[in-house]
Amino acid sequence: MNKLYQNLQHLLDKSSVELGSVGLMARIESRDLVWNGVSKEFKKSDVERGFYICSLSKSFTAVAILRLVEEGMVTLDDVIADHLNGVDCYKNITLRQLLNHSSRIQDYVLLDGYLNDVYASPENPWTDSYIIDRVKKLKLVDPSDFSSHYSNTGYLLLKQILELVTGEKYHSLLSRLVIEPMGLKRTYVATELDESLSLLPAFDNGFKRFGGDIRPQYHPGWCATGVVVSTLEEICLFYSKILSGELISESSLSAMLDGIETPYWLGPNDAPYNGKLSNGLGMKICRKFSVGKMEAFYGHGGDCPGYSVWAGCADIGNERITCCVVSNRELESPPEVIWMKLIENVLSQQNGDHNSGSSAASIVTP
């Protein structure tokens, strides 16, 4: 067994134990490497199963908006009142501001009663109109607090704008504009409970029935932004293609990666690998790290009951490495530290191989 594969598997197993025997899966792709790893809580075949990708769905929404921009149906500087009725309180807020979280609109996840109702009545999500009516009653976030205030509500509004502009439901338009053109075969927008238990097993102790299994009871409608189901392989493919400019134009990609610095860090600010994050259009960006070899990160993280996910691409010189990590329990924060350690392991191995005059080994594991 290749030494790099052993190191990556050891890191995944160690991280699983440190997190309290949380199930972890990961996929890494680079020019010379394709590796899938699972901790002991999963079977190797589980890497083929789909799961809620949570807030990574925002990257899909952003691509759909950018495609409409290219078709001349909207512009990034349109104010949302141009497309939605009843939002005069947001009359000066643009689509760009919704996309990069600079709108200052309050996050509906922080509304009183939201999390209580998620656990008390997981099969019955709040309606979009109920959420928006409640959020509209709140003042905008003080601009002196944050230049970029993360808001799920902004992406709920973007979902509604997409539907009104195209005349299609979110799941249909996302399939037409993003999923099908990218050749993603096992990716789709979740609209119903997973009563058939086809998704990756996932658990939350806040749910008392079904042994905490979220699949037959947590309705994806609680993610009012819209939530995508995908696999490790197809998430990696999505970010790799988007960042290579295969679906959107060069100007759209440039706009997507034009970020506003946030007060947040990629990884805890005392972690061995971290960097200051910026919010692009549906994309988290980091171009400066405290230590390590990574020069840039582009991707997203997310969590919901049952899952925590982190995925994206790391750039190092002319090399690009794509990685996705998912856990089968919601963590306190997305597993970006695990993601970074996996990337750094690959870089260290490849650097050693290059110094010795050989190329990194190609590893494809089931």
Instruction: CATH number of the domain at 53, please.
Output: 3.40.710.10
Per-residue pLDDT at 273: 67
Q: Each residue of 54-102: pLDDT tens digit?
A: 999 999 999 999 999 999 999 999 999 999 999 989 989 999 999 999 9
Measured CA to CA, the distance from residue 337 to residue 287 in angstroms comes to 16
Residue 366 is assigned to a structural domain of this protein = no
Per-residue pLDDT at 361: 29
Residue 13 is assigned to a structural domain of this protein = yes
For CA atoms 307, 263, 235, 170, give the dihedral sign: positive
Query: 334 pLDDT band (50/70/90 cuts)?
Result: low
DSSP string for 23-82 = -EEEEEEETTEEEEEE-TTS-GGGGGS-EE-GGGHHHHHHHHHHHHHHTTS--TT-BGGG
215 is in which domain, residue-wise? 3-355
Residue 363 is assigned to a structural domain of this protein = no
Q: In Å, how far are 81, 90, 295, 363 from 139, measured between CA atoms?
A: 17, 11, 38, 53
Query: 131 pLDDT band (50/70/90 cuts)?
Result: very high
Residue 365 is assigned to a structural domain of this protein = no
Residue 361 is assigned to a structural domain of this protein = no
Radius of gyration of the CA atoms of the chain, in A:
20
Domains held by the chain: number: 1
Check residues 106 and 275 and name the one with the higher pLDDT.
Answer: 106
Chain-centre distance for alpha carbon 230: 11
Q: Each residue of 133-155: pLDDT tens digit?
A: 999 999 999 877 666 789 999 99
Residue 271 is assigned to a structural domain of this protein = yes
Measured CA to CA, the distance from residue 335 to residue 331 in angstroms comes to 7
Strand 307-316, strand 319-327: pairing = antiparallel
Residue 360 is assigned to a structural domain of this protein = no
Per-residue pLDDT at 335: 84
Q: Which amino acid is at 91?
A: K
Per-residue pLDDT at 360: 31
Query: 359 pLDDT band (50/70/90 cuts)?
Result: very low
Measured CA to CA, the distance from residue 347 to residue 316 in angstroms comes to 9
